[in-house]
Amino acid sequence: MSQFEKIAEDVKKVKTRPTDQELLDLYGLYKQAIVGDVNTDRPGLLDLKGKAKWDAWESRKGMSQDEAMSDYINLGNEVISKYGI
């Protein structure tokens, strides 16, 4: 298992729910690392959560997948340190 995969699993186990912004940052970096630039249409007006997640991913547009993976690992480690597993 790569360090990226381990952090992705461990981040789901933190004792306290991270802030919405931390979750959105993690989501955006994860999607950019796995998929690359956003490849779907922005969700409709009524899907507030979907739009926030799409925007978090879209904000990473142009970032290399390796850079997104590295940033995800760093942020994941911060979240794990802050909230504990």
pLDDT in tens, 19-78: 999 999 999 999 999 999 999 999 999 999 999 999 999 999 999 999 999 999 999 999
Q: Which domain holds residue 28?
A: 3-11+20-83
Counted domains in the chain: 1
Amino acid at 37: D
pTM of the model: 0.94
- Contact at 8 Å (CB) between 38 and 61? yes
CATH number of the domain at 43, please: 1.20.80.10
Percent helix, strand and coil across the chain, each rounded to 5? 65, 0, 35
